[in-house]
Structure 1
């Protein structure tokens, strides 16, 4: 009888241990989504820049997956962030342009956002840093660690190290799986804000500081760069003005990297690093003319680094084509929280985190409507491995530059010098665009030679145009009606 009781006791203990082990290995992962502001692939060590110091992001790439064909869908802050957090293109979620101040764009009330869906699945959600989306009830987080006022010179978002410090308690104390939305203001251009909320990006003949300041920031080691060191990307002119601003931009990027490193330190100290998926993205390309607010490569082709501790392979370089419309479905898939009958425009690329060569990831779509409320210039684009077709819906208008770009030291320097070109592109062609732009990205990566009217490319043009129309139909694009009355 004693032996029998011992047997059942041991059996119970063994079953309990197996159950505990099983639960521990099927626990939902923590997820951190890191969003930088206006950071291109031009300024990251792991993307081939030997000058800039980004050791923490480089290490993240070495331990995870680095995407070489990742694209935002709109090179504008608020629209891009709502796509990331909803899986819906901006023309369908309602965030047609910037949310803050007098722009006042908002997403529709029916949108089911990523933080809300994760909370329903049992996640503890929190955000810190720049928010810049609305309404808050649609993009609701259970914990707001900082207010995140957009483009505020005194914003916490300029010090990612401090952001990590303020995230520490949330990371260490929560017993549920957590989702942390960690959004910096860096490396966005600096600006003053007038009482009416209007930003002032005037440079007074000097390079923008990109948030850098002489006294530095608490906990941040200042990493500075000389204008002669920087690598000037081909879409920019190689001038003293652009070099001076790129040096400031680099410094802001290195500040972001230090914050990422501090956040990882806290995760490791809490014993949660090996159960936390870390995703690093930027909302759009660098804040220079020719990148931000355009659908050219410099504006939409962005860094995407994902460390999934559950993946067997490390250091993968993934060339599958993904877009920010895929982020919400992918995160929900990793969390085991995809809702019934999802209506996302994107799809999960979870498989791309495990395998280098996965078929079916060979095209992406982009949709830009406005940036500032005065900047009406809707564009749609389809990008395949070789070609890109851009449809400039309001092509009759001159292309509008954002305030931070038109007043930039770099742009004004080119105008004052009487330059006909900005980088490799003619300024006239940049400001006055045709209805369609077709580029062979393989032969013409700088997107200079428009093939839309070239008879040799008529079949390719028609094929891509049909894809664009189908995209507009499938995503309920309000601008599709332009085809009917033009």
Structure 2
């Protein structure tokens, strides 16, 4: 599970084909030597990062879900700060996770689609990641679970000294907290970074969820959340109940990790972050740039540094996680990082001027799905670069999912329009496209300009591309 030895310069390492082959088999730890540690490791906090897979924005009870109770993740929120307006950079696993690690938008770090499908899109080992910078500053770094950023490259190239789970996809599912608890015990006297990537709320390879016997959920006692914008049909509720059952399993395992921090008396010096990689795996949610696809739960807990039970309404992006964790550790963020540290918000400073807008994008998921979005507090503007339908992803085999697409507001199998504009204050579920409304021409022009400026400043290759009518 662990990797010993010095951290090598990855350029030096890649010159040796023999060494590369060996490290691929062994998961050897490799990292660039980019200077002296910014501060003594003894003054750095421990960091635990929980990343959920396909977990919806408001699916936790602390975010208002009355269908179930998630006591352990709720505990993180009750003892820390919850962000009510946090967004991913892409509503797809690989691009979203690469943005968390690099602090960059997908078109900047090159991970613009699912990397197990398009291997050429795997994150280059020459990109800086925050686990690498933490490791170079003296932290013991480890991860367990899903590795979807560069699944065919060794994780040591990205700063992880230890890999607590196997290298095959069948080993990505975390089945218990045993290894995480042991890692915490073994490193309780030294600063560490532990990343836990749960897959429980992701559908299996057949596109299904299955009930977890220890966590039953009665489909007849729940309702489909309004923000999903799906009909409250029995078939949808049954699928949702299975999804919730798996969410409760993840919540339980997170509770075991939190208990281990308490038992080893290091909770007070541990920064905990919880986030999801995109919206829930239901039609019209994941893979879209509506709020239900790009908005995610984001929670930080750091006793003595973050006031318990606080909320921030600031517009936050998951590219902010990298600079936030580095700043908390006393490490300067690299110039390549495009996010902003959230520590000032975490310490209750003014949030209104933090950010005017967040931006998100899609280029590929499994299929080509090019779009870009700008989101302010009031407006959402989506620019589609082709009319390719969003599709149903892993729900495409389900009769109820295809039946849903016959409804007027469920056009996931129909061609997309070139542009979309939504008034989030009056239409939070983004049901009425105002692009053709003459009264909104000025607002449309402003949002177009906002997105263009973002694309120009980040050198997005889609800037200036025309709409491709392929259907």
**TM (normalized to structure 2)?**
0.85
Unaligned runs of 5+ in 1: 1-22, 192-199, 202-207, 217-221
- Counterpart of 1:125 in 2: which secondary structure? strand
The residue number in structure 1 matching 2:395 is: 405
Q: Which residue of the other structure, out of 277, 286, 293, is the alignment partner of 1:292?
A: 286
1:16-415 mapped onto 2 (5 Å cutoff): 27-101=43-117, 105-134=121-150, 135-136=153-154, 138-147=157-166, 149-150=168-169, 152=170, 155=171, 157-159=173-175, 162=176, 164-174=177-187, 175-191=189-205, 200-201=206-207, 208-210=208-210, 212-213=211-212, 216=213, 222-234=214-226, 235-311=229-305, 313-339=307-333, 342-355=335-348, 357-361=350-354, 362-372=356-366, 375-395=367-387, 397-402=388-393, 404-408=394-398, 410-414=400-404
Shift of 1:228: 1.8
The residue number in structure 1 matching 2:452 is: 469
- Return the alpha-carbon distance in structure 1 between the equivalents of residues 434 and 298 of structure 2: 30
Alpha-carbon spacing, 1:276–1:409, altered in 2? closer, same or farther (3 Å): farther
Alpha-carbon spacing, 1:87–1:241, altered in 2? closer, same or farther (3 Å): same
- Counterpart of 1:280 in 2: which secondary structure? strand
Is the 1:133–1:139 contact (alpha carbons within 8 Å) kept by the matching residues of 2?
no
- Counterpart of 2:288 in 1: which secondary structure? coil
Any idea what the Cα deviations from partners look like across 1:261-299, whole Å, max 9, x if unmatched? 000111111111111111011101110011101101111
Please identify, of 119-128 and 136-145, the stretch whose mean Cα deviation from structure 2 is larger: 136-145
- Return the alpha-carbon distance in structure 1 between the equivalents of residues 135 and 184 of structure 2: 16
Alpha-carbon spacing, 1:284–1:474, altered in 2? closer, same or farther (3 Å): same
Please provide the CA RMSD for this pair: 2.3
1:459 aligns with 2:442: yes
Any idea what the Cα deviations from partners look like across 1:334-375, whole Å, max 9, x if unmatched? 111124x52211111111111164232342111111111xx1
Rg larger in 1 or in 2? 1
Any idea what the Cα deviations from partners look like across 1:391-447, whole Å, max 9, x if unmatched? 10113x333432x132245413536xxx424xxx2427x632211100001101111
- Return the alpha-carbon distance in structure 1 between the equivalents of residues 453 and 267 of structure 2: 42
- Counterpart of 1:262 in 2: which secondary structure? helix
Shift of 1:58: 1.0
The residue number in structure 2 matching 1:446 is: 429
- Counterpart of 1:115 in 2: which secondary structure? helix
The alignment of Structure 1 onto Structure 2 pairs a total of residues equal to 424
- Return the alpha-carbon distance in structure 2 between the equivalents of residues 292 and 485 of structure 1: 22
- Counterpart of 2:345 in 1: which secondary structure? helix
Shift of 1:93: 0.7
Unaligned runs of 5+ in 2: 1-38
